[in-house]
């Protein structure tokens, strides 16, 4: 069911944002395709108002890229963010997102629908419903994480195929490689570079000791290029198998809840692009988000040829 409606949404996005650029004229694949597919999927799954989709994207950008002054005017580390310490990324944009989410939730309380937010609003565990703060956090995680990471993977995937056109030719010639190509794009792009966790007990990993209570940084981007796990880790190989990448976690309680949906979106986008585009090439330098948290692209000017 999900694959069917994601495929339909993706075709709509490509009809509007890609076909006009198939004559070889330069266009921004981030703006035209990569940002549009995930947010439209979220709008359907969560029941988001379509009129506010650009605002959701903008608020997510300002939160995630909080170390890039070209994206946000509220940079992490400033003393005047203390007033927003309860909100995501200690940002006033986190408060704006929560306020917007509360309006959407209020609408679901008044008129429940067949969407994820309506289910969360009405869900009970041992007779208790989610608190307002719980709903705030669910809303912001779903909107931001469910959009940003998938957008990064799609855009970075196109960049990889611009840099390694032989792999694009290989994928188009062998559609059976779509599954492995999807995982390789996700490994290669590594949308989130790291997360921090707290050691629950004294332990040792790779010869490094961590004591209970220590803050531990998990560098997914390093794990995805681990020579002990991947043969030729710096090679982009759409046929790579096995591919035990860490981009969305690898099981356990911290596995990304949206991993299957995100992977499906990337796979559907690659399949749709492969049917329409014979070749991608860069039309200018990529513009990256200034961040060590995500591998985001602000712009990726490309040319596409049928």
Is the pLDDT at 232 greater than 80, yes or no? yes
- Cα atoms in the 13 Å half-sphere on the side-chain side of 224: 24
What per-residue confidence (pLDDT) applies to 85? 81
pLDDT of 138-197, one tens digit each?
899 888 888 899 999 999 999 999 999 999 999 999 999 999 999 999 999 999 999 999
Task: Assess contact for 245 and 224: CB atoms under 8 A.
Answer: yes
Residue of higher predicted confidence among 74 and 177: 177
- pTM recorded for the entire structure: 0.92
Please tell me the total number of residues recorded for the chain in this structure: 306
Using a pLDDT cut of 70, give the percent of the chain over it: 96
Residue 276 and residue 268 in contact, taking contact as beta carbons nearer than 8 Å? no
Q: What is the pLDDT of residue 90?
A: 78
Tokens of 112: 């429940």
CB 218 within 8 A of CB 197: yes
Low-confidence winner among 214-223, 232-241, 242-251 (lowest mean pLDDT) = 242-251
Task: Give the model's confidence band at 258: pLDDT under 50 very low, under 70 low, under 90 confident, else very high.
Answer: confident
The tens digit of pLDDT for each residue in 259-286 reads 999 999 999 999 999 999 999 999 999 9
* Residue 1 confidence class, pLDDT cut points 50, 70, 90: confident
* 2: its two tokens: 């999900």
Helix (H) or strand (E) holding 38: helix 36-46
- Indicate the domain borders of the chain: 2-191+236-305
Q: From residue 280, how far is each of 99, 167, 175 by CA, in Å?
A: 41, 11, 17
pLDDT grade, residue 253 (50/70/90)? confident
Is pLDDT at 78 greater than 80 in this prediction?
no
Judge whether residue 39 has pLDDT over 90.
yes
Quick one: what percent of the chain has pLDDT higher than 90?
A: 65
Contacting residues for 155 by C-beta, under 8 A, at least 6 apart: 29, 30, 34, 297, 300
Residue 19 has pLDDT above 70, yes or no: no
- Give CATH superfamily name and number for 2-191+236-305: Cytochrome P450 (1.10.630.10)
H-type alpha helices, 47-191: 53-64, 92-110, 116-122, 132-163, 165-173, 178-189
Are the CB atoms for 64 and 293 separated by under 8 Å? yes
Across the beta sheet with 279-282, what order do the strands follow?
Answer: 27-28, 301-305, 279-282
Q: What is the mean pLDDT of residues 1-7?
A: 88
Compute the distance between CA of residue 287 and CA of residue 137 in angstroms, rounded to an integer: 30
């Amino acid at each position: 069911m999900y694959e069917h409606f994601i495929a339909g949404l993706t075709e709509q996005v490509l009809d509007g944002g890609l076909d006009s650029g198939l004559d070889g004229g330069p266009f921004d694949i981030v703006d035209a395709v990569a940002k549009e597919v995930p947010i439209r999927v979220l709008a359907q799954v969560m029941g988001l108002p379509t009129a506010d989709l650009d605002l959701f994207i903008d608020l997510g950008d300002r939160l995630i890229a909080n170390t890039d002054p070209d994206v946000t005017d509220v940079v992490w580390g400033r003393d005047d963010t203390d007033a927003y310490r309860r909100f995501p990324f200690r940002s006033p944009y986190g408060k704006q997102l929560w306020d917007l989410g509360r309006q959407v939730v209020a609408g679901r309380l008044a008129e429940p629908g067949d969407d994820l937010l309506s289910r969360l609003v009405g869900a009970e565990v041992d007779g208790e419903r989610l608190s307002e703060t719980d709903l705030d956090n669910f809303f912001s995680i779903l909107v931001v994480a469910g959009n940003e990471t998938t957008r990064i993977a799609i855009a970075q995937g196109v960049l990889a195929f611009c840099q390694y056109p032989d792999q694009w030719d290989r994928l188009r010639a062998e559609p059976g490689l779509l599954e492995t190509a999807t995982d390789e794009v996700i490994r290669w792009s590594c949308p989130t570079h790291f997360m921090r966790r707290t050691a629950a007990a004294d332990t040792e990993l790779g010869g490094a000791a961590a004591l209970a209570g220590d803050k531990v940084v998990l560098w997914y981007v390093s794990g995805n290029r681990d020579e002990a796990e991947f043969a030729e880790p710096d090679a982009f190989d759409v046929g790579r198998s096995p591919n035990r990448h860490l981009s969305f976690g690898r099981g356990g309680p911290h596995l990304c809840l949206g991993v299957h949906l995100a992977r499906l979106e990337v796979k559907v986008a690659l399949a749709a692009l492969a049917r329409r585009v014979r070749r991608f090439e860069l039309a200018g330098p990529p513009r990256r988000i200034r961040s060590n948290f995500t591998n985001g692209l602000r712009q990726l000017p490309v040319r596409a040829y049928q």
